[in-house]
Amino acid sequence: MSEFSIAVTQSNFKKEVLSAKVPVLVDFWAQWCAPCRAVAPTLDELAQKYQGRFAVAKVNVDEDPDLAAQFGVLNIPTLIFFKGGQEVDRVVGVQPKSQLDAKIQKLTGS
């Protein structure tokens, strides 16, 4: 976890994601997942770049399997974009930084 991302669990998901004032990317990941670790630095960079206009939240699927099941997460990393409490986009697997950046720009209007 970095200073630019929020650890999210079933108990704080509504507050941190669904009620967030800014768009949120939720990263469903696990410690043992090499692709998840590979995408983490990119997510940190984007969270820092868009700080205050966009947030990155991380859900550890081993610690919170019910939350992963609730959103139909079958493979990790799964990145789900939320805006106004609704899922608006989803990608599975490692994505190029440019692709994620473009999705965030679209959501933030920047």
- So what's the pLDDT on residue 44? 94
Cα(70)–Cα(48) distance, integer angstroms: 28
- So what's the pLDDT on residue 110? 74
Single out the catalytic residue among 22, 30, 33, 91: 33
Task: Give the start-to-end residue ranges of the domains of the chain.
Answer: 5-108
pLDDT of 1 over the 60 cut: no
CATH superfamily of the domain spanning 5-108: Glutaredoxin (3.40.30.10)
Considering the entire predicted model, what is its pTM? Answer: 0.94
- Whether 33 sits among the annotated catalytic residues: the reply is yes
What's the rounded mean pLDDT across residues 57-72? 96
Kindly report the three-state secondary structure assignment for every residue of 80-92. Answer: EEEECCEEEEEEE
Single out the catalytic residue among 17, 20, 24, 36: 36
pLDDT digit string, tens, across residues 101-110: 999 999 998 7
pLDDT digit string, tens, across residues 8-22: 999 999 999 999 999
